[in-house]
């Protein structure tokens, strides 16, 4: 019997992870709804709600949860109110949320306080910033856990969650990267007005706990990229506090070698990554997708600390311009063996296999702390 699944998405990044799971659930006969909020609703970040609307066979509900400048506490409160109203009218059998964003925390809270089962995707990971605290809060609130690795599964168990509720399926976005993107690199260049042939990708997001220094970090990083003489496609930062300081740096870069894009369709971004000389910044794509594809990546700063052990990932501080220059000289255009530390590109298949188990739906909502050993 098909169930009603509600997926909450607040960013282009989490939609790229949730879309394969939602598509597989839809194809397995479940009813799928997306609650679309956060960055998706903001024109400055590419109005990516349009990407969700393009998905066939699902319902979409949109909710504006913030105005520019709203603090995270206010965004949390607004999202709780909006989502609570929605689930009261349209009660799902399962709420699916991802990762460590403030909208995901709102979804976990609403599910727990309304007695609705919830599934947390990619819990049990470490990063070292305030996002990690949100992620672990979501783990403790959720009833089911779809993690990316056995290491993550062990961390979820360390937080007292029973092994039976934890399913290591891999990172869902790798499902898409594992196959053909469906577009050519020439189509990507034409759609996004990318004029250079040899390029790296740069993505640098704010770190919520480092607002006082994020502008200086951005100036150091992009100054080093500029000094290298290389060309880069830049994907705009997310809307966390500190983003305006990063945008100010991006606005001053020479347009001849830096192409800044608010957002990209996932297929186009996948094709762009597959042909990039390297990836630089602090996006999770640099420690997940890039190693999976064998692309060298430079992890800058603390946002992804300890997320990946892949040999293709180099880490340094934003202010370490010598290390940045050395990475670009040493790794530009190099290809590594693909890393499978975050899965093999079969997360969606494993997700629907778990949903097909009657025991998944019979698990009670009462949380009990399970001591390891």
How confident is the prediction along the chain (373 residues), in pLDDT tens digits per residue?
799 999 999 998 899 999 999 999 999 999 999 999 999 999 888 899 999 999 999 999 999 999 988 989 999 999 999 999 999 999 999 999 999 999 999 999 999 999 999 999 999 998 767 778 999 999 999 999 999 999 999 999 999 999 999 999 999 999 989 989 999 999 999 999 999 999 999 999 998 888 899 999 999 999 999 999 999 999 999 888 889 999 999 999 999 999 999 989 889 999 999 999 999 999 989 999 999 999 999 999 988 887 777 899 999 999 999 999 999 999 999 999 999 989 889 999 999 999 999 999 999 999 999 998 6
CA atoms within 13 A on the CB side of 65: 34
Question: What would the DSSP string read from start to end of 111-179?
Answer: HHHTT--EEEES-S---SSHHHHHHHHHHHH-SEEEESSHHHHHHHHHTT--GGGEEE---THHHHHTS
**CA-CA distance, 137 to 84, in Å (whole number)?**
18
pLDDT at 36: 98
List, for residues 286-310, the tens digit of each pLDDT value. Answer: 999 999 999 999 999 988 887 777 8
Return the CATH number of 185-331, one of 1.10.579.10, 3.40.50.2000, 3.40.50.1100, 1.20.1600.10. 3.40.50.2000
pLDDT at 223: 97
pLDDT at 373: 64
**CA-CA distance, 308 to 291, in Å (whole number)?**
9
Number of neighbours of residue 317 by Cβ within 10 angstroms? 14
pLDDT at 128: 67
- The three-state (H, E, C) secondary structure of 38-85, written as one string: HHHHCHHHCCCHHHHHCCCCCEEEECCCCCCCCCHHHHHHHHHHHHHH
Tokens representing 59 are 């319902």
pTM beyond 0.85, yes or no: yes
Fold adopted by 4-177+344-362: Rossmann fold (3.40.50)
**CA-CA distance, 18 to 5, in Å (whole number)?**
12
Tokens representing 116 are 């609705």
Angle at 26 between CA 98 and CA 284, to 5 degrees: 25
Domain with CATH 3.40.50.2000 in the chain: 4-177+344-362, 185-331
């Amino acid at each position: 019997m098909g169930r009603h699944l509600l997926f909450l998405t607040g960013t282009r990044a989490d939609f790229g992870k949730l879309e394969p799971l939602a598509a597989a659930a839809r194809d397995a006969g479940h009813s799928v709804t997306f609650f679309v909020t956060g960055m998706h609703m903001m024109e400055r970040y590419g109005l990516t709600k349009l990407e969700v609307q393009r998905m066939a066979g699902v319902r979409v509900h949109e909710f504006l949860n913030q105005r520019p400048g709203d603090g995270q506490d206010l965004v949390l409160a607004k999202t709780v109110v909006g989502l609570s109203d929605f689930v009261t009218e349209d009660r799902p059998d399962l709420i699916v949320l991802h990762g460590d964003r403030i909208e995901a925390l709102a979804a976990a809270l609403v599910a727990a306080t309304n007695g609705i089962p919830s599934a947390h995707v990619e819990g049990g990971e470490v990063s070292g910033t305030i996002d990690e605290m949100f992620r672990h809060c979501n783990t403790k609130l959720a009833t089911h856990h779809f993690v990316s690795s056995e290491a993550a599964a062990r961390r979820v168990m360390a937080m007292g969650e029973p092994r039976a509720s934890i399913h290591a399926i891999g990172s869902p976005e790798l499902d898409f990267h594992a196959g053909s993107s469906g577009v050519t690199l020439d189509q990507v260049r034409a759609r996004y007005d990318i004029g250079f042939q040899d390029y790296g990708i740069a993505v640098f997001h704010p770190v919520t706990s480092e607002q006082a220094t994020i502008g200086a970090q951005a100036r150091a990083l992009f100054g080093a990229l500029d000094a290298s003489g290389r060309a880069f496609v830049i994907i705009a930062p997310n809307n966390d506090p500190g983003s305006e300081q990063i945008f100010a740096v991006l606005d001053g870069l020479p347009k001849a070698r830096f192409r800044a894009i608010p957002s990209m369709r996932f297929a186009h971004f996948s094709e762009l990554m597959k042909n990039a000389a390297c990836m630089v910044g602090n996006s999770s794509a640099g420690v997940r997708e890039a190693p999976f594809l064998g692309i060298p990546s430079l992890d800058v700063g603390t946002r992804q600390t300890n997320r990946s052990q892949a040999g293709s990932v180099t880490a340094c501080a934003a202010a370490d311009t010598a290390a940045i220059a050395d990475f670009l000289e040493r790794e530009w255009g190099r290809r590594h063996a693909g890393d499978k530390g975050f899965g093999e590109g079969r997360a969606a298949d494993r997700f629907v296999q778990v949903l097909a188990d009657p025991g998944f739906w019979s698990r009670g909502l009462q949380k009990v702390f399970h001591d390891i050993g």
